[in-house]
Every structure is written in C-alpha cells, then in structure tokens.
Amino acid sequence: MGKGYMGKVLFVDLSKGDFKEETIPDEVYEKYLSGTGLAAYLLYNRIPAGADALGPENIFGLMSGLLTGTGSLFTGRWMAVGKSPLTGGWGDANCGGQFSPAIKRAGYDGILFTGISEKPVYLYIGEGKMELRDASGLWGKDAVETEEMLLEECGHDAKVACIGPAGEKLSLIAGICNDKGRIAARSGLGAVMGSKKLKAVVLDGCRRIPVADRDEMKNLSKICSKWVGMQPPFVPGNMTGFIGAFMRILPTQMAQDGMLYKVMLRKWGTVSMNQVSAEMGDSPIKNWSGSNKDFGMSKSKYVNPDVYTDCEMVKYHCYSCPLGCGGICKMTGKFSETHKPEYESVLALGGLCMNEDSDSIFYMNELLNRAGMDTISAGGTAAFAIECYERGILTKDETDGLELKWGNTAAIVSLIEKMIKREGIGDLLADGSKVASQKIGKGSERYAIHAGGQELAMHDGRGDPGFGLHYSVDPTPGRHTIGAWLYYEMFQLWKKVKSLPAVKPLYHKDAKYKADEEKAIWSNACSKFMNVLNGSGVCMFGAFIGIKRTPTFDWLNAATGWNKSPEDYMEIGERIQTLKQQFNIKHGIEPKSFKANDRSLGIPPLLEGANKGRTVEIDKLMKDYWTAFGWDPETGKPKGETLAKLGIE
Amino acid sequence: MSYTIIEVCNGCGACKRLCPANAISGTQKSLHVIDGSLCIECGACGRVCPKQAVKDSLGRICTAVKKSEWEKPVFDHKKCNSCVICIDACPTGCLAMSGAMGKDKHGKPYMKDDKACIGCGFCAAECPVDAITMAKPAAKAA
Ligand code: SF4
Ligand code: SF4
Ligand code: SF4
C-alpha cells in the first residue's frame, strides 16, 4: 500500500557526473514529512559548517511535497532548497506551477545536486533515461526561451525548472523558474544553481504516485472543492480601495475568515489586495518611509485589480489547484504575454518606488520573471537606490546618469534592466540592498530594508506586528509566507488543535499591537504549521480558508495511512523549524542579526498615515517566540533539551 | 507490481510501441520483457497483445480489446474545478486545458490527441472530484 511519498531521493554529483539513488526510511518521513522538512534533514548533516553557498560543498535541491499527486487539492508547490548565499543560512523558496508532481513522476521526492559542473549542463530524466546534457547553447537565454528550447528538444510533455541570466550571473536575489516565468524567488537559490552551472532540470517521467486511501482523499477533496467554488458576485476592482480605507478607519476589527480573501483571489488573484493593502497600511510605501498619504487612491487607482483582469486571457491553475488565482495576461510591446503580476511584484515595483505606471509594472514583471530575479528583492533594492539618490548618497555619476527620483518610471525601468545585466550601477545592486549598502557606506545601511540580507516582503509589521516578528525570527528571514497575526486568524488551527486559542470574532485593534503571551502562541503555531505545509507541498492560499476546509492533517493521514493527531503534525513542524534554526547556528549565524531593519519596525514611528505612531515591540516578541520554541531567550539558539526532545542529533 | 509477458509472445512489438513508460524491451520476433521497475500498470500492453501473452499484476491473462472499443474519458465540466490533475495524470499526454470558456476564464480539460489515448483510466482515477467517467466511444455517442 502506498504512502503518498516515493521513498527515494536522487543525488547528482555535478563534479563527477554521477547519480546515486538514496532510499529514505519511513521513520524520516514520519519525523520530517517530505519537501523542505526532508530537505532540512538531508542537508543539515551534509553541508559542512561554513561551506561557501556558491561553492561545490553546498547542496542544492528541488523537492516535491508529501501530498503532491495524492488526489489532494492545493498541493502543487515545489521547493528549492540549499544554503542561501543571500542570508548565509538555511535557504528555501517555493513555487506553484506544474513542476512538483513531475519530481514524483520521475520517481523521487527530491533531486539534489552536489559539486560543480565544468560546463553548463541540464539534467534530463524520462523515457527510462537519466543524463546530464550539455547546456552551452542555453546559457544566456532567459527562462522562457530556455523552457521553449528544452521542450522542443525533449518533448512538450516534459516539465522544466531553470534559471535565467540572473542566476547565471550569480545575482544573490536570483530564483528558479518553471512554467514560463513562475519563480521560486527567495533565498537567492538561483545563484546556487548558477554556481553549479546547472541551467535546468527537465523531467518527463510517468510514475504513479502511491496513496494509502484514495477514496478518503477524494472525499476530503470534494468538500474542499465545494468551499472554493462558492463565489458570490463582488464589487468592481476600483472599489477595493474603499474596503481598505474602511478597515483603516474602524477602531475595531473582525477576525478575518479566509473565505473573503478566497473570493477576491478567485476573481482577481493577489492583485485584489493592491489598493486594500495600500489603504490600510499593509503595503509599505516609499521604501517604508511613506504611507497611504503618499500613495493614496488617486495614485493606487492605476494599479486597481481590474487593470489586471481586463487583459487576462485565461485563468492559470497550478497543479491540483481548484482556485486559479493566476492568469495569463495579454501585453503590447516587446512581450506578447505575461503571468498576471502578483501583489508583491506590483507593490514592490509600484508603491515602494512611488511608481504608479501600470504598464511599466507589467513590463518589469515579465522582464524579471524571464531573468529569474526576485521581484520583491529587485523592487526593494530599487527603492533603496532611489532613496540613496534622493538623499545625495548616490550621485548622478554613480547611477550612470539615471535620475533616480521617486516615481521616475523610466529611470526605474532602466535600473531594473541594468540589475539584470549586472551593468554599471546594476552590478552594485544585483546582490540586494544589504550588500549594496555595505559597498556604498555613508550611512546608507539605514535605508536598506532587509532582514538578514533578504528584502522584506510587501506587508508592513507596523500594521500587523506578526509580519515584523516573522521577518526577524525565521531561519529564512524577510518573508511574508511564514506567519502573521492575520495568518493565525485565517488558518483557524484552533478548530483542530485544541490547545490553541481561538481569535475573538471582534476585537479592538489595539489588541493587535500588544506583545502579550498569546502572540508567542500564535507565531509559534504559524511557524509550525507553515513547516507542515511546506513539507506537504500545500499552497498557503489554500490553507487560508482554514484547516477544516483545506484539511491538510486529514489528507496527510489518508495519503500515508498514518494515524497522527493534529498535535503530532504540529510537533513535526516544530522539529523542522528547530532544525532549520540549528542549521543557521551551525553556519555561524547569530539569530539576533536577522532582526529586520529599524524603520520597518517603527523605530522611529511614522508621523502620519495608517501606521502613524506605531512601533513593533520587536525585542519582546522575539524573546517570547524563542522561549515558546524552547530556544534560548537571549540568543535564539535551540537549547540542548529542546533538540533532545525533538530527536534532533 | 508489474505486468509480465509470457512465452507465447511472438515478438510483434505492438506492446513496446504503445507502452507510455518505455518499460518493454525486445527485438522483432523474439520474446519481449517488461522492466518491472518502470511499469506503471496502465494495461495498454495487455489490451493490444494479439497473442494473449500479457499477464496483469495479479497474474491474470489479459484479453485484447479492439482499439475502437477502448474506454475514453468523458468530462463532466460542471463538476470539474479545473485543477489540472488529470492532465498530469495522463501518461501519454493526450489531454490539454482549453482557453477561457466564454465568460468563465477557468479552462477545462479536453481530449487533444484521441489516437494517443490508451484507455488506462488514470485521469478518472486521479480526478479528485470524480468529474471523469470512462466510457466506450459508442456509449459516449449514445
Ligand atoms: S502495463 Fe503499461 S506501463 Fe506496464 S508494461 Fe504494459 S504498457 Fe507498459
Ligand atoms: S485514459 Fe485518460 S489518462 Fe489514460 S491515456 Fe486516456 S486520457 Fe490519458
Ligand atoms: S482532474 Fe477532474 S477536476 Fe481536475 S481538471 Fe481534470 S476533470 Fe477537472
């Protein structure tokens, strides 16, 4: 009887050009699931302390999720893993598309690469063949061109993950693409792939994915599918800003039910939040120094959600997704189409740089996707450069003559093009704002808005302190897909994990900003649960409609034949999070050093706008988070007894 | 578990040409062999073999079925949630997603390459909401 996972991983030694299959014992899946959990287990001992992230000792992996291909829904995420050259610690990034099941159909839960190839290669697995093939002709091609050429060569049923020029040029903010420009963008893992001279992985297997109880999987999926299908008519896109403004003005807040967000995602995708977030103080504006006062509705209306759906030709569904938040949009100019830009990309290249030109955002979105460069970090770094220019820290000579002013669309586009090419000022910025600020000096560090080297995502901790905390404490810092107070509300974990406190249906907003004991419980729960999701390949948007409607724990039991309780799964998540933290300790990282940039935490507070006067009680929140995890409250290092309890050697 | 080929095989190669997993090897007019580690148990070899030389994974002799009578997927687009699982499940790549369906921008699966379909039913087996039924083409027309 099947257990949902393939039970094997493949190690490819790029220096020697050889392959080694490794069977993974069942106990490992029971302790770490698959995906990033299994990867953390495999990489923790095998990457030597202090290894150069861009050297032969780093191990780079592409992982599928335990639930991928089991008849569950929302479980098509694949994960890139390895030591991050951007943060120096544990790196992972995940992405939807069609690539995740392809890993399992090739026979593996993950494919991992060691060493460095002498010349550019790609890995091909399919038709009973497994080989490293010459990729010299692909080197220099963008991600879309690369994929098209590989499909032509290997057959159109194959699935491709590849890097673009950003990864080749070892940009520390490069990611890995699949499905013509969807990108596992964070942690700089595209550079790791580039350093190994691994241009692409092409998979064309057709293995069956074994499942313990397929009928039960379907029963659960049918319920989930029904919830997702409920779609009441909704307000026009240009009204969404008013929802945000309304939420800003109210002194109280209703606990969020993800069903509302689901409706917006299905109609528009993540861009549904563009104006809502800008209005309610969720979107950072003007390199985190501005507010809704600077980027009000008269500016944000150019990025209202209807702008994106008006040119959307067809919805895009990742593998096993009943929602379809993505879309393929028509474009004019150099490119004929693009994946519908995401909220993160729009705001990073928009409000963060005070850019209100929607066409330029479409263009830069496609450009960055093709280059395989993270839009969040690219936008964040561009905003940093603009602020440096505006403050006279960078002069026109140093910017190759670009007038890097807030909202100067043409200059912002040129800057992004230069970053991709690593040309002139672009070379200075291609490794993110932290590296750039260290080179520039002159106090520019204050304007590099990152945590542990990674640019913060477009969610403001001054609006929801959970974001500020998770940016600062996660082993992969600076990301928005790891936890927030909002996420705790939407996951509704208390409906399954009885020890967790329910969120009050209506509460005074002030309660959000108090660093009380409950917050440590919330944030710990988010971290644990996100690790369960990333071990299973579950999309966070699916999880947003709540643990009962997207029944991750029940699917896991039905797929594996295990009989684990929700608490058991939360403990698995705790183990993975602790192991990732321990990975960072092994590589010499002081957890405190990951604390996000002061400005992003309201030090000093903003003088106006939605987040006026707010400061995140970051030190207390971090301490409480560490304490609740059984990590040392002063240093953030997992205690010996905690490691022993979780069975981490 | 895997399908196997027994001595009566005359080496016609019909199964080898059809096998989507490239699991069958053998030269013309000699006994063919199935690599058990590659076989995905789609049953195509058993359905096509004219000599009744193929045994399924439970050891039962398979009977050949005329290609025109192989079952094909029939989609219930009302039940379908566009999850793309069937497209991925199909070992021969004969399914594809449509573009927008009128006002509804969510594509739906359809049979793109009828000739390539081997009637394995994997699409129906993996559809999480049972939006696919397998039916003989004749029954489908009726
Ligand atoms: S059952 Fe299918 S996969 Fe197995 S040998 Fe026959 S044709 Fe190939
Ligand atoms: S029955 Fe379904 S899965 Fe099998 S070949 Fe035909 S379309 Fe593909
Ligand atoms: S697997 Fe089922 S629900 Fe999903 S696209 Fe195919 S027919 Fe539709």
Q: Do B128 and A225 touch (CB under 8 A)?
A: yes
Decide: B27 in ligand 3 pocket, CB within 6 A: no
Q: Across residues A60-89, what is the average pLDDT?
A: 98
Q: Across residues B15-19, what is the average pLDDT?
A: 97
| Rg of chain A on CA atoms, in Å | 23
Q: Give the pLDDT score at A649.
A: 81
Q: Across residues A76-81, what is the average pLDDT?
A: 98
Q: Give the pLDDT score at B142.
A: 43
Quick check: A237 pLDDT over 70? yes
Q: Do B93 and A156 touch (CB under 8 A)?
A: yes
First-to-last C-alpha distance (Å) of chain B = 37
- The model's pLDDT over B44-72, given as tens digits with 9 standing for 90+, comes to 999 999 999 999 999 999 999 999 999 99
Decide: B129 in ligand 3 pocket, CB within 6 A: yes
Residue nearest to ligand 2 atom 8, measured at CA:
B90
B139: pLDDT confidence band, cut at 50, 70 and 90? low
Q: Across residues A487-506, what is the average pLDDT?
A: 96
Q: Across residues A329-338, what is the average pLDDT?
A: 93
Average pLDDT, chain A: 96
- Euclidean distance between CA atoms A609 and A613, whole angstroms: 9
How much of chain A, in percent, has pLDDT values that exceed 90?
93
Q: Which chain B residues are closer than 8 Å to A228 by Cβ?
A: 81
ipTM above 0.85, yes or no: yes
Task: Closest CB to B99: pick one of A71, A208, A313.
Answer: A313
First-to-last C-alpha distance (Å) of chain A = 31
Residue of B nearest to A71 (CA): B128
- The model's pLDDT over A178-201, given as tens digits with 9 standing for 90+, comes to 999 999 999 999 999 999 999 999
- The model's pLDDT over A601-616, given as tens digits with 9 standing for 90+, comes to 999 999 999 999 999 9
- Euclidean distance between CA atoms A648 and A83, whole angstroms: 19
Ligand nearest to C-alpha A71: 3
Contacting A residues, span 143-202, partner chain B, CB-CB under 8 Å: 156-157
- The model's pLDDT over A247-270, given as tens digits with 9 standing for 90+, comes to 888 888 888 899 988 999 999 999
Q: Across residues A233-243, what is the average pLDDT?
A: 81
Q: Which chain A residues are closer than 8 Å to B128 by Cβ?
A: 71-73, 217-218, 221-222, 225, 320
Q: Across residues A258-283, what is the average pLDDT?
A: 92
Q: Do A313 and B100 touch (CB under 8 A)?
A: yes
Q: Across residues A402-415, what is the average pLDDT?
A: 98
Ligand nearest to C-alpha B40: 1
Q: Give the pLDDT score at A254.
A: 86
Using a CB cutoff of 8 Å and minimum separation of 24, what contacts does A384-390 make?
A384/A287, A384/A429, A384/A433, A384/A436, A384/A437, A384/A444, A384/A447, A384/A448, A384/A449, A385/A415, A385/A425, A385/A429, A385/A436, A386/A287, A386/A353, A386/A354, A386/A412, A387/A286, A387/A287, A387/A289, A387/A447, A388/A440, A388/A444, A388/A447
- The model's pLDDT over A445-481, given as tens digits with 9 standing for 90+, comes to 999 999 999 999 999 999 999 999 999 999 999 999 9
pTM over 0.90: yes
- The model's pLDDT over A150-172, given as tens digits with 9 standing for 90+, comes to 999 999 999 999 999 999 999 99
- Euclidean distance between CA atoms A584 and A580, whole angstroms: 7
Number of C-alpha atoms within 13 angstroms, CB side, residue A454?
36
Q: Across residues A95-120, what is the average pLDDT?
A: 98
- Euclidean distance between CA atoms A198 and A106, whole angstroms: 18
Residue nearest to ligand 3 atom 2, measured at CA:
B127
- The model's pLDDT over A286-328, given as tens digits with 9 standing for 90+, comes to 999 999 999 999 999 888 999 999 999 999 999 999 999 999 9
Residue of A nearest to B1 (CA): A1
